[in-house]
Chain A
Amino acid sequence: MSDPKAAASDDIVGMEQFNSLQRRIFIVYLPLAVFVFVLLFPFYWMAITAIKPDNQLTNYEEYSPFWVVGPTLEHIKYLFFETSYPGWLWNTMLVATASTVIALAASVFAAYAIERVRFTGARVTGLLIFLAYLVPPSILFIPLAFIVFQVGIFDTRLALILTYPTFLIPFCTWLLMGYFRTIPFELEESALVDGATRWQILTRVILPLAVPGLISAGIFAFTLSWNEFIYALTFISSSENKTVPVGVLTELVRGDIYEWGALMAGALFGSLPVVILYSFFVDYYVSSMTGAVKE
């Protein structure tokens, strides 16, 4: 350290680093900071509005809009105790969980059959499943509303639980097919030699190995059903059966005076469950998202 030569060479390295750092600040860090700011600002705005007292909400001149003096829980209290919001949260949770479980169960069997049982026409079935994934809800909701009405489950949570798997199953099956493909045939063959049945192979060999795939598919399916809007908007009319996105939009928005505090609190608490779930399983989420694209 005391060697002057070493210090000099350190200086040179330091200069180089400084130069490239300066360059990097302009071409990497600065644009990245702008991206992160723009992508996160609406959430900050949502959160800060939810805890702002009413008198500060629109008074930008006297109170800085970016900060809050004396935060209040008034909006949140109003949301949870004077509206049907807790019920909507419960409905969303119930519908998302039930449809995810149904979709996962159906997809595991379908993906296993397509990838490993290899029945006649398995490849065509796989392609059809992929095409089904590309059918958007916005062209299905009118005939589905018709069907839901005729079956007699209009305005029930069951209508959502039964219709959500239509967009979950294709996605989950497609994803799980990719996972099953990576499990070596040899494992199944040796299990078959040992006298295992197909059912035992599926539950004892394949499923334990496919747990990461199941988690990815489950997380993604849960998020998709939590976020679903057009079916819930069309099939549900009474307040007690609504999901969070529909409830917040149709019941908290009324008249000409918007209660921004309560509205933003509703948006915030409706987002939190998926964000928390997502934060625990980021890698699974990313792999399911990119996996569906890369296959």
Chain B
Amino acid sequence: MGKATTSARNGTFLGRLTGSKNGLGLIFMLPAATFLLCFLTYPLGLGVWLGFTDTRIGRAGEFIGLENYIWLLDDPVFRLSVFNTILYTSVASVLKFGLGLWLALLLNEKLPMKSLFRAIILLPWVVPTVLSALAFWWIFDSQFSIISWILMKWGWIDTPINFLGDPTNARAAVIAANVWRGIPFVAISLLAGLQTIPASLNEAAALDGATSWQRFRRITLPLLTPIIAVVMTFSVLFTFTDFQLIYVLTRGGPVNATHLMATLSFQRAIPGGQLGEGAAIAVAMIPFLLAAILFSFFGLQRRKWQQGGAD
């Protein structure tokens, strides 16, 4: 259809513009392209290059091949950080998905002041992560945590919980804070998807005697799958490369139990001065990200195919 109109137009007034089309496109793309080439593509390439060098802060590096990566493979802290990143991403993503979908279904019900609910639920996503993480830092304080105080008041525990000082607790605490921040994004995005599902489908199924679980399982979920795929890819991507929360709450401690690849890369490169090694850690994240992007790509493809699109 697009082809037909284009060729029809080419014969008339647009024909004159066709010659300068590419020139015009180039001029219009120039500002954005300059920024992205200088500050995104070039640094991306430079990062890969730095990963192959022994650059330090204030000293130009030399090409050392795969030495950084070989060294990192033997480094228990790096291996722990890969494990932590995968654990953090998978647990947080599953929780965000489950709770986010639940919240989206609740918000899709008939409610008074629905838009107000939607607005306040998004707040954790809007507020700067570092600043809300500071609030969590105070909530997770080892002595004066309000959670510990309430649990002690109820008689469930005897001493304050050492939230950020114990490896297991610290992992749970940072995951909880990440889930808290991520739920709104998942919930509101899925809500937008839920609202595109025609009510008539559910009504027809209800008339045929389908239970609410059957309606959810056979109608809502299949129709929501494409959006779930995209939302969760974004969520996984952002969780995997998370830096802020960890940096505020634990800085990777205790005993590196919460060090993610991003925080380890920062620690080695900036305070540690080993730019080359830090860059290598950052580059090591790329295969995981590519896997997530490919997943997203096939999710999108499937949607187009489902909608009967030729593309």
- In the bound complex, residues from chain B placing their C-beta under 8 Å from that of A109 are 28-32
Q: Is A19 an interface residue (CB 8 A)?
A: no
- In the bound complex, residues from chain B placing their C-beta under 8 Å from that of A290 are 188-189, 192
Complex-state Cα separation, A38 to B227, whole angstroms: 26
Known: A120-B22, A142-B279, A146-B275. A267 touches B134 (CB 8 A): yes
Q: Is B289 an interface residue (CB 8 A)?
A: yes
Cβ contact within 8 Å between A36 and B138: no
Complex-state Cα separation, A223 to B122, whole angstroms: 13
Q: Tell me the smallest distance from the CB of A68 to a CB of chain B, in Å.
A: 14
B48: nearest chain-A partner, CB-CB = A143
Cβ contact within 8 Å between B139 and A42: yes
- In the bound complex, residues from chain B placing their C-beta under 8 Å from that of A119 are 21-22, 24-26, 29
Q: Is A294 an interface residue (CB 8 A)?
A: yes
Cβ contact within 8 Å between B127 and A230: no
Cβ contact within 8 Å between A143 and B44: yes
Known: A136-B241, A193-B13, A282-B115. A106 touches B189 (CB 8 A): no
Complex-state Cα separation, A46 to B123, whole angstroms: 14
Known: A286-B118, A290-B188. A140 touches B40 (CB 8 A): yes
Q: Is B201 an interface residue (CB 8 A)?
A: no
Complex-state Cα separation, A282 to B116, whole angstroms: 10
Cβ contact within 8 Å between B131 and A245: yes
A residues 208-231 near B (Cβ < 8 Å) are: 223, 226-227, 229-230
- In the bound complex, residues from chain A placing their C-beta under 8 Å from that of B32 are 106-107, 109-110, 129, 169, 173
Q: Is B129 an interface residue (CB 8 A)?
A: yes
Number of interface residues of A (CB under 8 A): 94
- In the bound complex, residues from chain A placing their C-beta under 8 Å from that of B128 are 226-227, 229, 244-245, 270-271, 274
Complex-state Cα separation, A275 to B144, whole angstroms: 28
Q: Interface digits, A141-154 against B, CB 8 Å rule (1 contact, 0 not)?
A: 11111110000000
Cβ contact within 8 Å between A143 and B31: no
Cβ contact within 8 Å between A166 and B35: yes
B278: nearest chain-A partner, CB-CB = A142
Known: A46-B135, A113-B29. A278 touches B35 (CB 8 A): no
Cβ contact within 8 Å between A36 and B106: no
Q: Tell me the smallest distance from the CB of B156 to a CB of chain A, in Å.
A: 16
Complex-state Cα separation, A223 to B44, whole angstroms: 24
Cβ contact within 8 Å between A143 and B46: yes
Complex-state Cα separation, A279 to B132, whole angstroms: 18
B residues 7-37 near A (Cβ < 8 Å) are: 9, 13-14, 17, 21-22, 24-26, 28-33, 35-36
Complex-state Cα separation, A120 to B121, whole angstroms: 43
Q: Tell me the smallest distance from the CB of A36 to a CB of chain B, in Å.
A: 7
Q: Tell me the smallest distance from the CB of B151 to a CB of chain A, in Å.
A: 12
B residues sitting closer than 8 Å to A (CB atoms) are: 5, 9, 13-14, 17, 21-22, 24-26, 28-33, 35-36, 39-40, 42-44, 46-47, 50, 55, 99, 102-103, 106-107, 109, 111, 115, 117-132, 134-136, 138-139, 143-144, 146, 149, 180, 183-185, 188-189, 192-193, 227, 230-231, 234, 237-238, 241-244, 247-248, 262, 265-266, 269-270, 275, 278-279, 282-283, 285-286, 289, 293
List 7 contacting pairs A-B, 8 Å CB cutoff, sorted by A.
A45-B146, A140-B47, A142-B270, A145-B275, A230-B244, A234-B266, A248-B130
